[in-house]
Amino acid sequence: MTVKVFVVDDHYMVIEGIRALLQNEPGIEFVGNATNGESCLAFLQRQQPDLILLDINLPDKKGFDLCKDIKSKYPTIQILGLSTFNQRSYIDKMMENGASGYLLKNAGKDELLKGIETAMKHKTYLSHEAALSLRNEESEDLPVLTRRENEILEYIAQGLTNQEIADKLFISYSTVDSHRKSLLHKFGAKNVAVLINLASKYKFI
């Protein structure tokens, strides 16, 4: 049986790269590609592939959300996340939203084929480096944020003050301040500038 593969990525060169890598592979058929979420969903209405390679950074929609959408409408389609970042929070989010695994764009042909094969067996596949980053020191000492911390981090990045956040969430100033403190502490940041810099760098926001 031939595995029908569809690619969603806004970079034409990456699409071409994957197409080239999958060309002449027995058992795999490249059935098409999309460069944004909208055209991806439009394609799926007409035709369903077996597996989608889905970039996380799409122009019109976050890859995470698209992943969720696809999985809810077409639960049998396997999805492999695709991105340049081997960031724990990225990998986690992708898996939470129903992906079967995660490939980095610097993955080679072997990994790509292995990933497709593994996903089609309904097992989880992670890129070598992505898998490493889950055990890696550098990633390991990246903070793990709670639901509330993530929420408040987002508001801080938007420029809201503690009081404004407190009003918005119907909690006291003190509580927001506590969360802010723990954010600074978890990131090892001495002030909000460093906090936002790191959070942005590591794609928390």
Q: Is 142 in the site for a copy of itself (CB under 8 A)?
A: no
Taking CB under 8 A as the binding criterion, the range among 38-46, 117-125, 132-140, 185-193 that sits at the site for a copy of itself is: 185-193
Which listed residue (5, 70, 156, 183) binds a copy of itself by CB under 8 A?
156
Question: Which helix (H) or strand (E) covers residue 78, if one does?
Answer: strand 78-83
Q: Is 12 in the site for a copy of itself (CB under 8 A)?
A: yes
- Asked whether the beta carbons of 155 and 149 are under 8 A apart, the reply is no
Kindly identify the residues of this chain, within the stretch 150-189, that bind DNA according to CB under 7 A. 156, 161-163, 166, 169, 171-175, 177-181, 184
Whichever of 79 and 165 has its CB closer to a copy of itself, that residue is 165
CB within 8 Å of 137: residues ≥ 6 apart: none
**Cα-Cα-Cα-Cα dihedral of 31, 37, 38, 40, to 10°?**
10
Which listed residue (24, 26, 46, 193) binds a copy of itself by CB under 8 A?
193
Q: Is 146 in the site for DNA (CB under 7 A)?
A: yes
Q: What single DSSP character describes residue 84? A: S
- Asked whether the beta carbons of 117 and 25 are under 8 A apart, the reply is no
Which listed residue (192, 198, 203, 205) binds DNA by CB under 7 A?
192
For the bound state, the minimum distance from the C-beta of residue 154 to a copy of itself, rounded and expressed in Å, comes to 10
- 3-class state of residue 104 by DSSP: strand
